[in-house]
Amino acid sequence: MADVKLIGAPLNLSPSVLRAILALSLKKVEYELLLQEKFGEKSELLLKSNPIYKKIPVLIHHDRPICESAIIVEYIDEVWPESGFGAILLADAYHRALHRFWTFYVDDKWFPSLVAVGKAATEEARAEAVEQVRAGLLLLEEAFVKLSEGKAFFGGDRVAFLDVMFGCFVNWIKAVEELVSVELLDEVTMPALHGWAVRFREHEAVKEVMPDSGKVLGFLKIIQAKSKEDTAAAKN
């Protein structure tokens, strides 16, 4: 256990940290979670382990740091290829590329719009952000149908790379829905993706580590309040 450590956040509230935790859980790898106790806190170990970006998560294996959530998930899969629930990266190179492409889309386009929903200063801005989130989810609905080929997960019969990389947000979606009283991932217009989210949340390795949506909601309220304070301060 001492050989594997993860610098992360309390309650698994950071989606990027949760990616690493999900991968470790899928592989059934024991590890020690080293918490950054306060929001925005950067410990000496974090700054030493990730001096370029200075952010979590950082996986430390045999005292060697590995940074960035996607790189960490791939590293875990490569180091423990036969452990737990099997491979996270798909065997087919083309499908691996598609999983990486949609992961980049989620991080670059979709998640910023989800954050914008909670931070929106006006109803107009919020409505626009909600539309962007829903448009992105509709694209991911189409991607799921193609990639899953009628099976349970993006990886087919098992949880794979994109399941982990997008699945870390499923309870964030629920929390944002409660925060602004709007439905984002609905069963009527996105039946395949909605069903996937339910199955992913109930997966044996996932439900053990997935943060409660109520706790995510509390965290989002803190972020929302800070955003309002920053906006007010900028006007003064």
CATH number at residue 54: 3.40.30.10
221-228's contacts with Cβ under 8 Å and 24+ in sequence apart are: 221/179, 222/39, 223/118, 223/119, 224/118, 224/119, 224/179, 227/118, 227/119, 228/121
Task: Spell out the per-residue pLDDT of the chain, length 236, in tens.
Answer: 459 999 998 888 999 999 999 999 999 999 999 987 676 779 999 999 999 999 999 999 999 999 999 999 999 999 999 999 999 999 999 999 999 999 999 999 999 999 999 888 899 999 999 999 999 999 999 999 999 999 999 999 999 999 999 999 999 999 999 999 999 999 999 999 999 999 999 999 999 999 988 999 998 888 777 777 766 666 76
The reply to whether 22 and 55 lie within a common domain is yes
Backbone phi, then psi, for 203, in 5-degree steps? Answer: -60, 140
Structure tokens at 133: 């989130």
Q: Which domain holds residue 97?
A: 93-217
With 0.85 as the threshold, say if the pTM is over it: yes
The reply to whether 63 and 129 lie within a common domain is no
Domain boundary among 38, 54, 79: 79
CA pair distance 64, 71, nearest whole angstrom:
14
For the chain, how many structural domains are there in total? 2
